[in-house]
Amino acid sequence: MPEMRIIRSYVDRANSETIESYIASGGYTALPKALRMDPLEVIEEVKKSGLRGRGGAGFPTGIKWSFIPRDSKKPVYLCCNADESEPGSFKDREIIERDPHQMLEGIIIACYAINAHKCYIYIRGEMPKGARILERAIREAYEKGFLGENILGSGFSLDVILFRGAGAYICGEETGLLESIEGKNGEPRPKPPFPAQVGLFGCPTIINNVETLACVPHIINRGADWFASIGTPKNTGTKIYGLSGCVNRPGLYELPLGIPLRELIYEYGEGTRFGRAIKAVSPGGSSSAVLTADELDIPMDFDSLAKAGSMLGTAGVTVIDESTCMVRVAQNLAHFYRDESCGQCVQCREGTWWLEKMLTRIEEGRGRMEYLDTILDACSQMKGTTICALADGCAMPVESIVRKFRHEFEEHIRLKRCPFESRYMGVWEED
């Protein structure tokens, strides 16, 4: 089966990042259509489409937009979250580098809908190429009159500023992102107030993910009903799934929401490398609870994965095969979150640090049986107790790995060494 390409339609075309290419393939036709609609009608259409945020949380986009007060005395902002940093996620990079005008058109329409006249695109510092491409795309859009004063004679004006981050996973958290634009450490804010009331510079602000915004022109052009007819009733549209780890064909696959995980791995990813059995799958970026080989028939949508105790997140699927030591997997992830914790909340600052420490001891043969319950206890105290979800993002995968692969941890402790022969956790194609 071929992919169902909507957002990825033109990514393989030469020069797909230029405005000429975008216009030649029907781009910037949704914008004039949207500008003829009432802003509230645009919001209504996006609500009707059922579009849910593609950045991880899956919150309905149209409803989020409707939280912006219509009579705001303060300026309204849109921030496009292009800080793609979730391990396993690499979908936004492709949109940014291969079809930036698609997201820009979505940005302009979104700003029109919420009455924002300034948008910040927050791109992570580690994407210098994406930043170069976006700078050029923004310039091109100004030259063609899609940005700036009185866009296409509509009376609507908009400025877009590209803001480069400087290396911090936490800035992908929406209020961490706002702090960063304000020139501060990316330390998430307690909520409420929510950004739609008090956001950037204290003004009403919407933060949307790149892929979410790239869906918007298609919804305006082809209608909410068309979009809602794809996927399942509460999980509409296509999703760009990222497949990585121990598969034969890692990469991006755009498919209707709700495709079974097994089909994604075996049909699109062409199965596992060296035909090895699957041990675990991280289905929605590293912050999601891992699934076992018995759980591959789960539909890949927001609600089905939540029901299974995990999450769709960014739909970055990482496949882990039988040759992999799960203690090392947990240790690798705990290291990531310990490194990326902003340090504001004790549960996160200390919890990620202790988890990494205990997991390292177990891996190095210095663990004790009682560590396992201590780890689970720490995980439960890290969940839902902090300002943002980073601590949960560490606790969920670690807890699921310890629960589902407890025997591997016990074996390490009993043998006082790692039972896996290789000193490395993965296989380099070179060897």
Q: Give residues in contact with another protein (CB under 8 A).
A: 84-90, 92-93, 124-129, 161, 163-169, 180-186, 201, 242-246, 250-252, 282, 286, 316, 318, 320, 324, 328-329, 332-333, 335-336, 339-340, 342, 423-431
Q: State the minimum distance, in angstroms, from the CB of residue 222 to another protein.
A: 28
User: Helices in 115-184 by DSSP H: which ranges?
Assistant: 128-143, 174-181
CA angle 126, 132, 135 (to 5 degrees): 120
Cβ closer to another protein: 160 or 378? Answer: 160
* Rounded Cα–Cα distance for residues 333 and 270 (Å): 26
Q: State the minimum distance, in angstroms, from the CB of residue 40 to another protein.
A: 27
Q: How far is C-alpha 109 from the chain's CA centre? A: 21
In sequence order, which residues have a C-beta less than 8 Å from that of residue 193 and are 6 or more positions away?
none
Residue 9, helix vs strand vs coil:
coil
Q: State the minimum distance, in angstroms, from the CB of residue 35 to another protein.
A: 25
**23: buried, middle or exposed (CB in 10 Å: 19+, 13-18, 0-12)?**
middle
Phi, psi of 39 (to 5 degrees): -50, -40
Q: State the minimum distance, in angstroms, from the CB of residue 6 to another protein.
A: 19
CA distances in angstroms from 161 to 61, 98, 154, 311, 357, listed in the order given: 22, 19, 21, 32, 41
Cβ closer to another protein: 101 or 328? Answer: 328
Residue 127, helix vs strand vs coil:
coil
Cβ closer to another protein: 46 or 390? Answer: 390
Do strands 231-232 and 235-236 pair parallel, antiparallel, or not at all (unpaired)?
Answer: antiparallel
Cβ closer to another protein: 92 or 174? Answer: 92
Q: State the minimum distance, in angstroms, from the CB of residue 384 to another protein.
A: 24
8 A C-beta contact, residue 203 and residue 74: yes
CA distances in angstroms from 70 to 52, 79, 113, 319, listed in the order given: 22, 18, 10, 45
Which of 97, 55, 77 lies closest to 161, judged by CA? 77
Cβ closer to another protein: 112 or 241? Answer: 241
Cβ closer to another protein: 36 or 129? Answer: 129
Q: State the minimum distance, in angstroms, from the CB of residue 161 to another protein.
A: 6
Cβ closer to another protein: 308 or 427? Answer: 427
**What tokens were used for 266?**
């075996």
Cβ closer to another protein: 165 or 258? Answer: 165
Cβ closer to another protein: 286 or 304? Answer: 286
In sequence order, which residues have a C-beta less than 8 Å from that of residue 339 and are 6 or more positions away?
none
Q: State the minimum distance, in angstroms, from the CB of residue 286 to another protein.
A: 6
Cβ closer to another protein: 281 or 372? Answer: 281
8 A C-beta contact, residue 187 and residue 176: yes
Strand partners, 292: 280
DSSP string, 47-80: HHHT-B-TTTT--BHHHHHHTS-TT-SS--EEEE
Q: State the minimum distance, in angstroms, from the CB of residue 77 to another protein.
A: 10
Q: State the minimum distance, in angstroms, from the CB of residue 247 to another protein.
A: 10
Q: State the minimum distance, in angstroms, from the CB of residue 388 to another protein.
A: 15
